[in-house]
């Protein structure tokens, strides 16, 4: 699975989006931060935990800016670079934008990592940027105790195409475009328990650009988009619910999972980030009638590195959109629930859509 002479992951205490600060810690830090402004042209800042900042340039065109970096989730340096770059660019797509350039962010423990490995990381990131049709136009590097790589990404979008995580409406359908379980796979990988086909599945998912977000944003039936990363499906779902002032109702049996995720999590392959996530926001999640097993909760809080898009759309358009997203190269796409009136929480169901009794997942 890797040609690296040693395990990159052994140099880091965490990896991928599992490195993110827990949601509760981040909220506490931001609550005490001084507020600059107001800036009338700053359309999106930190107020709803959205995926990127958005600046109104001229009343029609917006600039989207984001940065994302982390420690290695795999040992192959090329794969690490590709995953980190795909993850960083995703924030622009999640806002409905098109990336135009990137800057590299690099921290490496000098004397522990050979320059050929660092070069391979950078080349992997550059290859994904080329796939996204953008240059790596510069960057910054430091000597750090653990290996770190990522990107700052700039994108553009028409003002009318910006899609926030706070636009979900009661009655909307919820669509997820990638399978859940990257954190579980990474935990198994570190213990040499991930099969070769599982590793290939993880790389295929984490290096698949979320470019469909820019297409979805031009559809009037799409009301809100966010990408699912380190806070897990529940955490990013809660951000959408809080920001929109609605409840999200998610059907567990409709969620797409990576093919080995349920088996591996039952074997105990769980990240520390999953546990921190639940400790941060579990009180705001209503479990399904009859409760749920620990392994189910671990999957719902599993940190996704370069995860898929969570989309809220008009219910009558959900079948069409699922088919279009799948046709665009995202075969795991499923409808996973709906949006309802409420104070900003997430409610879970085991097998059917609430009230209607309709099984969701195929449209």
What residues act catalytically? 17
Question: Strands 148-158, 246-251: parallel, antiparallel or unpaired by DSSP?
Answer: unpaired
- Output the DSSP codes for 205-236: HHTS--THHHHHTT-TTEEEEEE--TTHHHHH
For residue 306, the SS3 value is: coil
Question: In this structure, are residues 180 and 282 in contact, taking their beta carbons and an 8 Å threshold?
Answer: no
Of 119, 113, 172, the residue nearest 143 (C-alpha): 113
Question: In this structure, are residues 285 and 228 in contact, taking their beta carbons and an 8 Å threshold?
Answer: no
As a whole number of angstroms, the distance between CA 90 and CA 101 comes to 13
For residue 196, the SS3 value is: helix
Burial level of 195, CB count in 10 A (0-12/13-18/19+)? Answer: middle
């Amino acid at each position: 699975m890797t040609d690296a002479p040693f395990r990159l992951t052994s140099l880091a205490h965490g990896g991928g989006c599992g490195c993110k600060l827990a949601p509760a810690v981040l909220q506490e830090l931001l609550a005490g931060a001084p507020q600059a402004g107001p800036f009338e042209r700053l359309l999106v800042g930190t107020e709803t935990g959205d995926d990127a900042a958005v600046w109104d340039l001229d009343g029609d065109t917006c600039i989207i800016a984001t940065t994302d970096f982390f420690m290695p989730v795999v040992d192959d340096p090329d794969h690490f670079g590709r995953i980190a770059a795909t993850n960083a660019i995703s924030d622009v797509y999640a806002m409905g934008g098109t990336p135009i350039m990137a800057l590299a962010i690099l921290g490496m423990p000098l004397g522990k990592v050979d320059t050929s490995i660092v070069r391979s990381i950078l080349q992997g990131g550059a290859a994904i940027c080329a796939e996204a049709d953008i240059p790596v136009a510069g960057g910054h590097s430091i000597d750090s105790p653990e290996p770190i790589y990522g990107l700052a990404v700039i994108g553009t979008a028409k003002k009318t195409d910006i899609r926030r995580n706070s636009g979900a409406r009661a009655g909307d359908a919820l669509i997820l475009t990638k399978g859940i379980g990257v954190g579980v796979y990474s935990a198994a990988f570190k213990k040499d328990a991930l099969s070769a086909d599982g590793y290939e599945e993880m790389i295929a998912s984490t290096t698949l650009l979320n470019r469909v977000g820019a297409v979805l944003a031009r559809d009037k039936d799409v009301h809100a988009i966010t990408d699912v990363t380190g806070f897990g499906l529940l955490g990013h779902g809660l951000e959408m619910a809080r920001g929109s002032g609605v409840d999200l109702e998610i059907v567990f049996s409709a969620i797409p999972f990576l093919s080995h995720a349920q088996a591996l999590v039952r074997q105990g392959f769980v990240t520390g980030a999953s546990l921190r996530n639940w400790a941060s926001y579990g009180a705001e999640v209503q479990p399904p009638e009859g409760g749920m097993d620990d392994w189910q909760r671990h999957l719902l809080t599993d940190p996704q590195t370069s995860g898929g898009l969570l989309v809220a759309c008009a219910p009558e358009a959900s079948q069409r959109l699922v088919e279009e997203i799948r046709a665009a190269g995202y075969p795991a796409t499923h409808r996973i629930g709906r949006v309802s009136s409420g104070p900003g929480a997430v409610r879970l169901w085991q097998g059917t859509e609430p009230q209607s009794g309709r099984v969701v997942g195929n449209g």
